[in-house]
Chain A
Amino acid sequence: MKLLASPAVRVGLSISIATGLYGISFGALSVTSGLSFWQTIALSLLLFSGGSQFAFIGVVAGGGSGVAAMGAATLLGMRNGIYGMQLNALLHPKGWRRYVAAQLTIDESTATSTGQSDPAEQQRGFWAAGIGIYVLWNLFTAVGALAGSGLGDPKQWGLDGAAVAAFLALLWPRLKGREPVAIAVVCALATVLVVPFVPAGVPILVAAVVAALAGWFSHGRSDEGLEPDVDPYAEHHHRRQDSQQAGA
């Protein structure tokens, strides 16, 4: 009862349900991309980062190699290192909790925690969102994987269209302002240009290099692109970075 009175825990639980539910689409797309049921389960249990998981299966679905899939997933996971640094400064987890906190460090748990200004609430928000999403994401991944394996021809059900929609939905919340849109357009163009000339999967890595160069040599917000897929504080109508600056 006492826990449910905490605003951070309430936000954490609602974000858990919203994020966990889209584990269904990950599970279904993963098995129709050619991964086995257990490979799908392993990605959600061990990798546990939505964008990287979708990247891995997206490269495999497009005929890319395992190395390219690993490369795309790993490059997308870099931002979790930045989140880890922010959360370490905020929550100071000690001993084994540090290793558990690391695994639960994703867009949504970070956003739930940094959106609070009281240190105790930051703790509760992180753990509520992190554990809640972990449990539901894995549960719904299994549901989706079981449903997906019984579907037959994935194209007939438009599941390749579902993958396109999923990637656009992951990209969308990060397109705030002119610069991220420009980066997205340039990387999309670079991808299309190199597709005919390099093996499948490699165009994605080319885009990553272009984006990294753009980030290194341009000046802009330092938290560009670091927005959660589902904004825990969307209904409060304040931008996450405002509250982050206030809390810093």
Chain B
Amino acid sequence: MNLWIWLLLACALAYAWKVVGYFVPARFLKDPRVSRVAGTMTIGLLASLTVVNTVATGQSLAADARVGALAAAAVALAFRAPFLLVVIAGACTAALLRMIGWN
């Protein structure tokens, strides 16, 4: 139940960002720094989410089958595979590595 509250708040804040763009005077958001921070934060957050999901379990770090999934996804992306194919490559690699015993 608790998660619902944060989830709905996240939805409200996401919509707030979107609406703000349409109503705030353009000169504020036209400050190139604001636009740059939005961009670099997107890169930083996605990089962070990638490594957290690869090596972290709670507060501990481990190199398990997920590292193989990361490598497989990188190869698929290098070959310009579409999003869904990249995701499937990651899943299959992790599942296969577990099957042969790499946790």
Contact = CB atoms under 8 A, between A and B. Distances in A.
A84 B19 CA distance: 7
B82 to A, nearest CB: 7
Interface string B1-45: 011111111110111011111101010011011111111111111
Interface stretch (A3-11, A98-106, A111-119, A120-128): A98-106
A73 B96 CA distance: 31
B61 A174 contact: no
A156 B95 contact: yes
A246 interface: no
Interface of A: 18-19, 21-22, 24-25, 35, 39, 42-43, 46-49, 51-52, 54-56, 58-63, 65-67, 69-70, 72-89, 93, 98-99, 101-103, 105, 155-172, 174-175, 180, 183-188, 190-192, 195-200, 203-204, 206-208, 210-212, 214-216, 218, 220-226, 229-230
B26 A89 contact: yes
Contacts of A208: 41, 44-45, 48
How many chain B residues sit at the interface, stated as a range, is 35 or more
A73 B3 contact: no
A165 B49 CA distance: 11
A221 B33 CA distance: 10
A72 B45 contact: yes
A89 to B, nearest CB: 6
Given A67-B6, A204-B49, A164 B54 contact: yes
Q: Which of A21, A48, A204 has the most CB of B within 10 A?
A: A204
Q: Which of B18, B88, B96 has the most CB of A within 10 A?
A: B18
Given A192-B61, A225-B42, A105 B50 contact: no
